[in-house]
Structure 1
């Protein structure tokens, strides 16, 4: 069995910059929700990032929406297991008429446009409370970039 050399760990500033670049440049993530009666639920969704929140949408009658109504918290994952961003976020549900035009337009560019079936969809606004990022085991220590909604200036783990 051959071993793959690990990339050199990035400092906190580089990890944060790379994370923000990936959030702006990407549009697909895994969204995990849960509630006492249902346990964990994981779905792939499109998203848009506006430099402080992620916006996605899903079916109004979905288990995801039911979970978020019961417990408005979610965990998001972007990337693969060797280069990942994980985000713990607070969720707010918004009806299609209640979303701002800029978010609706941006989301329509990366996914089905909920405005075409407003009775079927809800938008989900996700405000990060904690962001972790690492691209290998070499970066596992110091992986927390945001805590309690604020970007960190020094590593904590």
Structure 2
């Protein structure tokens, strides 16, 4: 059995650029929410990135929405375990008629259009507070790219 050679570690600017590229070109992520006593709840969702926030949507009566009403924070995961982006984000629930047209149009290109059933769906606007990214153990140290909503100029972990 042969083992794969891990990719070389990227510096912080390269990792940030790769992460932004991934956010811009991708459209699927895992969304984890939780509330007191119920444990974590994880769902796959589509998303769109506008350069500062991610927008997704889910069923108005879902456990995800219930969790976000109780605790408006989420963890997002993009990629696989060998090349991952993790995002801790503040969440805002947005009624379908209240979403901006650009976000609604972009989201409709990657998933079911919530505007077709506004009583069934809600949009979720996710503002990153912390972003981590790594593609191997060599990148585990220094994996934090954003902290408290600001991109870092130097590694902190």
| TM-score, length of structure 2 as denominator length | 0.99
| TM-score, length of structure 1 as denominator length | 0.99
Q: Name the residue aligned to 1:138.
A: 138
User: For the residues of structure 2 that align with 1:5 and 1:93, how far apart are their CA atoms?
Assistant: 43
State how many pairs are aligned. 157
Q: Name the residue aligned to 1:90.
A: 90
Q: Name the residue aligned to 1:27.
A: 27
Residue 38 of structure 1: CA displacement? 1.6
Q: Name the residue aligned to 1:51.
A: 51
User: For the residues of structure 1 that align with 2:38 and 2:57, how far apart are their CA atoms?
Assistant: 20
Describe the superposition over 1:106-157 as per-residue Cα deviations: whole angstroms up to 9, x where unpaired: 0000000000000000000000000000011111110000000000000001
Residue 4 of structure 1: CA displacement? 1.8
Superposed structure 1 runs of 4+ greater than 3 Å apart? none
Unaligned runs of 5+ in 1: none
RMSD: 0.6
User: For the residues of structure 1 that align with 2:94 and 2:38, how far apart are their CA atoms?
Assistant: 22
Unaligned runs of 5+ in 2: none
